[in-house]
Amino acid sequence: MRIFVPGDAAAIALGADDVAQAIQNAAARRGLPVEIVRNGSRGMVWLEPLVEAETPAGRIAYGPVEPAAVSGLFEAGFFEGGAHPLRIGRPEDHPFLKRQTRLAFARCGITDPLSLDDYRAHGGLKGLERALAIGPAATVEEVVNSGLRGRGGAGFPTGIKWRTVAETKAQQKYIVCNADEGDSGTFADRMMMEGDPFCLIEGMAIAGIATGATKGYIYIRSEYPHAVAAMREAVRRARKAGFLGERLPGSTHSFDMEVRVGAGAYVCGEETALLDSLEGKRGQVRAKPPLPAHVGLFGKPTVINNVISLASVPFILAEGGAAYRDFGMGRSRGTMPIQLAGNIKHGGLFETAFGITLGELVDDIGGGTASGRPVKAVQVGGPLGAYFPRALFGTPFDYEAFAAADGLIGHGGIVVFDDTVNMLEQARFAFEFCAFESCGKCTPCRIGSKRGAETIDKIRGGIDPGANLALVQELCETMKFGSLCALGGFTPYPVLSAIRHFPEDFGTAAHLAAAE
């Protein structure tokens, strides 16, 4: 009998290890043979730990399962999919999963993350095989044609980046995977690395073939020990199976990779700071140009891509760029794993084509707040993203539409707040966070953020609020234009959106008018 208990860090944080142990013990007591598979998460985090039994009628899920509930599950005959208050039914029939278009996350939660046989049986390695068959130039063109844009935040076309590196001549080139995932409200990279690590490895190997890079690094934040362990083991197994290393199957291409661990610095998610960190230095942002594509890691041409950008590539190669491009709207092609987080009833990962509205995501799919109170604000795109009021819930999830609404989609995180939130405190936090994480290179970022927090304290204290609000806005202008990277440059997004959309939290309307 096969039972699935996710080994995903969120499931573990909710007791999955104890649940797995309890199932093992209870089965032993009853003399029932059981094989427990630690799968990835399906992404329905409010149901974690989500336990699944493999029955003749398909996999039947139960959740959220606490260790104490396990003996009851046995009494209900959950090995046969028996009735129980926690019974969810077949996961794929659940509306939350049914409404998704899972391209990057097609296997996550279904397979044993570290089984290469499982990976192959569920369509894995088809992309790599095709890349090897069609060669580097056609591989790059396939990615260009897919319309895939960087999922790390900036939205730069992935294929164009690859083409630049492919066209740059050098003895040594690198593929660097940005797995620093520092944005609050995001966990797609983590879920991918823990739930389907071979998909990322395959994407990186394809990038290597396409650009002529023979070495890859995955830079994973230290806050993700489970992802680090999963990736290290997956790399080891991939190497053993011969799909990493010298001469990939049936070709002359070589590609190998290493997992590196960050050290707790948000700014190291910025690509050039990440490269400095990989080189062993302080993670400080480099001025561009030169682009990493020309002068990157150890001075060599380097592709640096987010986990999800790279993990989207196997599908694109296997099914063709056009198949990916068919999804989406405008210049946002394909799918985005959107992460519903914070105070939300149905939090988790929802992969869907671009174009769905913010309101559909928060209200229909997310089910509103977990607290049951009204939604007051949602922050989209991490700590540097704007706060949106309900009035803007019609905004479609699309790079350009969010930019037009003075926001950004970033890495696709949506953090929901109920009506108990005070937006002045959130604006202050944005400054505080910037001050805490600043790499120190630019004065507006390093000093301006401290001044910003102090000035907001004055507004809160009722000290000359009109003038101080104007000062905050001025400070934001200085940060926007005087910062080398988006940490200093985008901190104004959360601050100014909080002031613009929630003026009532910053004092009377008169103060605001005075600040205009």
Partner 1 sequence: MTSAIEETARAVISRHLALDGAALPILHALQAEFGYLPEETLPLVAGALNISRAEVYGAATFYHDFHLEPRGKHTLTLCRAEACQAMGGAGLAERAKLRLGVNFGETTAGGEVTLEQTFCLGLCACGPSAMLDGKPVARLTPEKLDAIVDEVRP
Of 162 and 433, nearer to partner 1 (C-beta) is 433
Bond from prior residue into 289 cis (ω within 30 degrees of 0): yes
270 binds ligand FMN (CB under 6 A): yes
Q: Answer yes or no whether residue 223 interacts with partner 1 by CB under 8 A.
A: yes
Q: Output the smallest distance, CB 79 to partner 1, in A.
A: 27
185 vs 465, which CB is nearer to partner 1?
185
Residue-wise DSSP of 95-148:
HHHHT---STTSSTTTS-TT-HHHHHHTTTTHHHHHHHHH-HHHHHHHHHHHT-
The structure tokens listed for 252 are 């002359």
* Among positions 275, 353, 442, 471, the unique one binding ligand SF4 when judged by CB under 6 A: 442
Q: Which does 185 bind (CB under 5 to 8 A by kind): ligand FMN, ligand SF4, partner 1, none?
A: partner 1
Q: What DSSP element (H or E) covers 230?
A: helix 225-240
Site for ligand FMN contains 269 (CB under 6 A): yes
Per the CB < 8 A criterion, the answer to whether 334 and 103 are in contact is yes
Binding mask 249-288 for ligand SF4 (x = CB under 6 A): ------------------x-----------------x---
- 266 contacts partner 1 (rule: CB under 8 A): yes
Interface positions, 396-455, toward ligand FMN (CB under 6 A): none
What pairing do the DSSP bridges indicate for beta strands 328-329 and 332-333?
A: antiparallel
Q: CB of 420: closest distance to partner 1 in angstroms?
A: 9
| 450 forms part of the interface with partner 1 (CB under 8 A) | no
Query: Which one among 102, 215, 253, 441 touches ligand SF4, defined by CB under 6 A?
Result: 441
Residue of the chain from 118, 142, 181, 505 that contacts ligand FMN (CB under 6 A): 181
Measured from the CB of residue 15, what is the shortest distance to partner 1 in angstroms?
9
Give the pair of three-digit tokens for residue 279. Answer: 């080189």
Size of the site for ligand FMN (CB under 6 A): 22
Residue span binding ligand SF4 (CB under 6 A) among the ranges 25-33, 91-99, 293-301, 440-448:
440-448
92 binds, among ligand FMN, partner 1, ligand SF4, none (CB under 5 to 8 A by kind): none
Asked whether the beta carbons of 375 and 396 are under 8 A apart, the reply is no
Question: Any contact of residue 281 with partner 1 (CB under 8 A)?
Answer: yes
Who's near 88: CB < 8 A, 6+ residues apart? 47, 50, 60, 61, 62, 63, 94
Binding piece for partner 1, criterion CB under 8 A, among 67-75, 108-116, 253-261, 390-398: 253-261
Segment 399 to 438, residues that bind partner 1, using CB under 8 A: 413, 415-418, 421, 426, 429, 433, 436-437
Which class for 129: exposed (0-12), middle (13-18), buried (19 or more C-beta within 10 A)?
middle
Window of 173-181, 197-205, 334-342, 465-473 that interacts with ligand FMN by CB under 6 A? 173-181
Side chain identity at 92, as an amino acid letter? Answer: E
What is the DSSP code string of 298-322? GGS-EEEEEHHHHHHHHHHHHH-HH
Q: Which does 446 bind (CB under 5 to 8 A by kind): ligand FMN, partner 1, ligand SF4, none?
A: ligand SF4
- Nearest-approach distance from CB 292 to partner 1, in angstroms: 15
- Judged by CB under 6 A, does residue 150 bind ligand FMN? yes
Do the strands 2-4 and 51-55 form a parallel or antiparallel pair, or are they unpaired? Answer: antiparallel
Segment interacting with ligand SF4, rule: CB under 6 A, options 5-13, 26-34, 365-373, 433-441? 433-441
Q: Give the C-alpha separation, 181 to 466, whole Å.
A: 37
Q: Per rule CB under 8 A, is residue 170 in the interface with partner 1?
A: no
Q: Are 435 and 453 in contact (CB under 8 A)?
A: yes
Give which of ligand SF4, ligand FMN, partner 1, none residue 39 binds (C-beta under 5 to 8 Å, depending on kind). Answer: none
What is the C-alpha separation between 98 and 112, in angstroms, rounded?
Answer: 21
Sole binder of ligand FMN in the list 487, 495, 496, 498 (CB under 6 A): 487
Cβ pair 388, 401 in contact under 8 A: no
The one among 218, 267, 293, 408 contacting ligand FMN by CB under 6 A: 267
- 283 by DSSP, 3-state: which? coil
Distances (CA, A) of 328 to 324, 372, 406, 413, 466: 9, 32, 21, 18, 44
The piece of 37-45, 180-188, 230-238, 387-395 that touches ligand FMN (CB under 6 A) is 180-188
Tokens of 161: 């980046």
Residues 294-353 that bind ligand FMN (CB under 6 A): 304-306, 309
Residue 488 partner contact from partner 1, ligand FMN, ligand SF4, none using kind-dependent CB cut-offs of 5 to 8 Å? ligand SF4
Q: What is d(CA 256, CA 248) in angstroms, rounded to the nearest whole number?
A: 10
Q: How far is the CB of 50 from partner 1 (least distance, A)?
A: 12
CB atoms under 10 Å from CB of 298, counted, come to: 12
Q: How far is the CB of 10 from ligand SF4 (least distance, A)?
A: 29
Give CA–CA dist 113/124, Å, rounded.
12
Based on CB atoms, which residue is closest to ligand FMN, 8 or 271? 271
Are the C-beta atoms of 172 and 212 separated by less than 8 Å? no
Nearest distance in Å: CB 309, ligand FMN: 3
Q: Tally the residues of the chain.
A: 516
Binding site for ligand SF4 (CB under 6 A): 267, 285, 438-442, 445-446, 483-485, 487-489
